[in-house]
Amino acid sequence: MWNNSNSLTMMNNTQNNSRRHFLKTLSLGTAGLFVSTPSTRAHAVAQSPLLQEKIEEALYAFVIADAMGGSVENNLPEQTLAQFGNWDFNNFLPTTKKSDIEKKQGKGDGRTTDDTLNLEALIGCYLRHQDHLDANDYAEFYIKEITGKKVWIAEKGEMMTPFERPLWQPERYVYQRLVINNIEPRYAGMGNWINEGFQGIMMPVGAVNAGDAFGAYDEATSIAMAHTESYGVECAGMNAAAFAEAFRKNSTINSILETALRVAKDGVRLSLQDVIAAIDTNDSFEQFSAKTREAVLPYLQLSPALLKQKNIETPKMLREGTNIGRPSRIATIENVPIALAALKYGNGDYFKTLKAGIFYGRDAETIAAVATSLLCAMKGKDVIPKKLKSEVDAVNRRNYAALAKEFFETVRAIYQKDIKRLEERKLIIEQ
C-alpha cells in the first residue's frame, strides 16, 4: 500500500539532511551519486560505464516505445486491447492506416514519431553546447536542431528537417515565437497550448543531472519557459527529476516516485498522488486504464458538466466547455502521472510496463516511452530484447548506441565543469 504521508515525511527529512551535510558528503572519486542543494551544480555523475549503459538502455526504451505506439496513438484503451490484446510485443505493432500500408510509410512497423525527433533535438542541444542549458540556450540550439539539420524520417521515407515533417503545432509555435516574433526566450512559452510534447523528452536533462533531482528540476523548468508555461513547465521539471533519480546507481521504483512527489507542485503533485493511490499491480490492463483515468480526470480542466458524463474523452481541438491547455495551478498533463503509474504498475517488468502505456490509449506512445525509459534508466543494460533494438536502428537508419555513447561523453564533460565550479565555490566558502 502506498503510504503518502509517511513517504513525504521521509522525503522532507532526506532533503533537509542533504542540505545540511552537502559539503561534507562531496565525494569526487566514487560511482555512487549524492543529492545536492537546488543552488549547486555539483552533479554526481558516475564515472564508471554504468551510467553509459543506463543512458543507452533508456534511450532505446524511449524510441522503441515511441515506434511501438505510434500506429495506435489516440485510440481508446478498448480499441487497442481489442486489436492487439494478444500481440507478441517482441515485434513492433504494424501500420494500421490503409494508405500508409500501401506506401510502407507512416506510423507503425518500427518507425518512430515526432517524439523521438524532439528527444534527438534536445540531446543535440547538449552535444552542441557541452554544458547545462537554460531558456536562452534552448532557443539558440533547438531551432538549429529542428530547422538546420536533415535526418532520415522513416514515416515520411525521406531526408528532411524535423520542422519540415512537420512537427506538431505546439512545437512549431516555438519557432513562431522565437524566430518570427523574436520573443525573449524566458517568455516565449507563454500562450502555447500546454500539451504532452515537451515534458516527455526530459530524459537527457535527468541524465545530465544524474543523482541530483533538484538540479534536474531547476534546469528543466528553466529550459521549459522557452517552450511552454504553467503546469507544462512543472510537469517537465518533475519528469526530469524522476529521471535524475532513476539514473542513480541504487534507485528503485519507489525512490523515483518519492522524488517526483518531492519536487512537484500544485495540481501536478496532487494528480500524481491520486493516480498512484489508484494502482493495484494485480489489476488487468483494462482495470489499470480505467482506475488511473478516473483518478486523473479531475485535473484535466473539464467542466463539471463534462465530468458527470460517462466515458468522457478530453477533446484535442475545439475544446468548448473546457479550460484545456490553459494555465492553471490545479491541472496536470495527463501523460505525466499516467507514465509514472505505468512504471509502478509494471513493477519492474519491461513488457508489462510497455503494455500499460500502450493499452492506456490516447497519447499511448509518449506514455509508454516515458514509463519504459524510466524503468531502463533504473535497471541499466539487458532489459530490452536485442531484436527490437536492431530493428529500430535499421528502420530509422540510426545507431542509438553510438548516440548514447556520444551523449554520455557530453554528460561526463559537463560533470567535470560542475566539479571545477564547485571547487572554486568551496574555496570561497572555506577561505
Over residues 11-22, the pLDDT tens digits come to 444 444 443 333
Please tell me the predicted confidence (pLDDT) of residue 44.
47
pLDDT tens track for 368-412: 999 999 999 999 999 999 999 999 999 999 999 999 999 999 999
Q: Are 222 and 262 in contact (CB under 8 A)?
A: no
Rounded to 10 deg, the angle between the 114-129 and 49-69 helix axes is 150
Long-range CB pairs of 34-39, under 8 A, 24+ apart, other chains included: 34/211, 34/212, 35/211, 35/212, 35/213, 35/214, 36/212, 36/214, 36/215, 37/214, 38/214, 38/215, 38/217, 38/218
Please tell me the predicted confidence (pLDDT) of residue 6.
47
Tell me the range of 15-29, 158-172, 252-266 where mean pLDDT is highest. Answer: 252-266
pLDDT beyond 60 at 106:
yes
Q: Which residue did the predictor score with more confidence, 3 or 375?
A: 375
Q: Give the predicted TM-score (pTM) of the model.
A: 0.88
Whether the bond between 204 and the residue before it is cis, its omega within 30 degrees of 0, is no
Burial profile 118-151: b = 16 or more Cβ within 10 angstroms, e = fewer:
bbbbbbbbbbbbeebbbbebbbbbbbebbeeeeb
Give the number of other Cβ atoms within 10 Å of residue 421's Cβ: 13
User: Grid coordinates in use for 217?
Assistant: 528540476
Please tell me the predicted confidence (pLDDT) of residue 412.
96
Q: What does the DSSP 8-state code read for residue 397?
A: T
Q: How confident is the model at residue 138 (pLDDT cuts 50, 70, 90)?
A: very high
Which amino acid, residue 84?
F
Residue 184, phi-psi category: left (phi > 0), alpha (psi -120 to 50), beta (remainder): beta
Burial of 181 (0-12, 13-18, 19+ CB in 10 A): exposed
pLDDT tens track for 317-356: 666 778 888 999 999 999 999 999 999 999 999 999 999 9
Please tell me the predicted confidence (pLDDT) of residue 48.
47
Please tell me the predicted confidence (pLDDT) of residue 18.
41
Please tell me the predicted confidence (pLDDT) of residue 65.
98
Q: Are 14 and 25 in contact (CB under 8 A)?
A: no
Residue 322: strand, helix, or coil: strand
For the ranges 102-111, 182-191, 357-366, the lowest mean pLDDT is seen at 102-111
Q: How confident is the model at residue 196 (pLDDT cuts 50, 70, 90)?
A: confident
pLDDT tens track for 46-64: 444 899 999 999 999 999 9
Please tell me the predicted confidence (pLDDT) of residue 1.
41
pLDDT (average), residues 406-421: 97
Please tell me the predicted confidence (pLDDT) of residue 309.
83
Nearest residue to 206 (alpha-carbon basis) of 142, 130, 132, 272? 132
User: Grid coordinates in use for 155?
Assistant: 514515416
Nearest residue to 303 (alpha-carbon basis) of 278, 281, 321? 321
Please tell me the predicted confidence (pLDDT) of residue 37.
41
pLDDT beyond 50 at 222:
yes
Cα gap 155→309, rounded to integer Å: 37
pLDDT beyond 60 at 26:
no
Nearest residue to 232 (alpha-carbon basis) of 204, 276, 201? 201
Find how far residue 412's CA is from the centre of its chain: 21
For all residues of the chain together, what is the average pLDDT?
89
Long-range CB pairs of 87-90, under 8 A, 24+ apart, other chains included: 89/351, 89/354, 89/355, 89/358, 90/385, 90/387, 90/388
Residue 111: strand, helix, or coil: strand
- Check whether domain 58-84+109-421 has CATH 1.10.4080.10, yes or no: yes
pLDDT (average), residues 229-246: 97
Please tell me the predicted confidence (pLDDT) of residue 5.
45
pLDDT beyond 80 at 130:
yes
